[in-house]
Amino acid sequence: MDRLIPFTADVYAGMFARYNAETWPALVLALLLGAVALICVRRGEPRAGRILAFTLATYWVWTGWAFFIQTYAGLNWAAVPFGALFIAQGVLTALWGGVLGRFETAAGRTRSVEIGTALLFAALLGHPVLTYAFGHPIDTAHGFGTAPATVALIAVAALYLIYGRAVLWLALWPVLWAAWDLASAWTMGLWRDVPLPALTLFFAAWLAAQRLRR
């Protein structure tokens, strides 16, 4: 891992500060899109699945391009292929859930919806709280829907809002990224970055176990 992470934790955190400063309007838009999608799902709107799919696809594509290719590539040669995979995940999500309408959302206060909602709030608040708790500058926090760790967790949260086994394949890349992200944070000793990918892995595994039993 050390050869694949040719920088220190401070340099990595500083990159997020610059990224957040340069792209902050994207965070506002990501929050608005997420709020609209969640409200539509919980109300059982007819097009909630498509709205959720296109919202999630936007997060994947934005992060792949703006974070990996435009920002992270200056530190790590692996950023461009990672960015391409994020963009590909976004395109697949848009096609499967948005264009083909394969996201059948679970409306109401079911356990699955409540878990998905809780994970969305974890993606929103988790990293800023951890950043503050560990004494890092708050401007280095990973934003909701604009940073890889939050997007992977949001993706798993979204799958809790959708019925059926047919969407489980969309968890593959979030799981792979979360595993890489967790290993990277561990290698750098950046402990504030450990909980989000750990949550992604745990709840993805739990979701798969529950869906495959049915």
pLDDT band at 214 (very low <50, low <70, confident <90, very high): low
Q: At what angle do helices 111-133 and 148-160 cross, to 10 degrees?
A: 160
Residue 134, CB half-sphere, CA atoms under 13 Å: how many?
19
Contact 37, 48 (CB under 8 A): yes
Contact 53, 96 (CB under 8 A): yes
Contacts with 167 (C-beta within 8 Å, 6 or more apart), sequence order: 96, 97, 102, 103, 159
- Paired residues of 77 in beta bridges: none
Q: What percent of the chain has pLDDT over 90?
A: 83
177-208 in b/e form (b: 16+ CB < 10 A) is: bbebbbebbeebebebbbbbbebbbebbeebe
Give mean pLDDT, residues 47-62.
97
To the nearest 10°, report the CA torsion of 162, 60, 93, 201.
Answer: -50
- Paired residues of 105 in beta bridges: 162
Contact 61, 50 (CB under 8 A): no
Report pLDDT digits (tens) over 59-93. 999 999 999 999 999 888 889 999 999 999 999 99
Q: Rounded to whole angstroms, how far apart are CA atoms 163 and 146?
A: 26
Report pLDDT digits (tens) over 187-210. 899 999 999 999 999 999 999 998
pLDDT band at 212 (very low <50, low <70, confident <90, very high): confident
Contacts with 169 (C-beta within 8 Å, 6 or more apart), sequence order: none
State the pTM of this model.
0.95
Q: Rounded to whole angstroms, how far apart are CA atoms 42 and 5?
A: 41
Report pLDDT digits (tens) over 147-176. 999 999 999 999 999 987 778 999 999 999
Q: What is the mean pLDDT of the chain?
A: 93
Q: Rounded to whole angstroms, how far apart are CA atoms 69 and 137?
A: 24
Q: Rounded to whole angstroms, how far apart are CA atoms 130 and 200?
A: 16
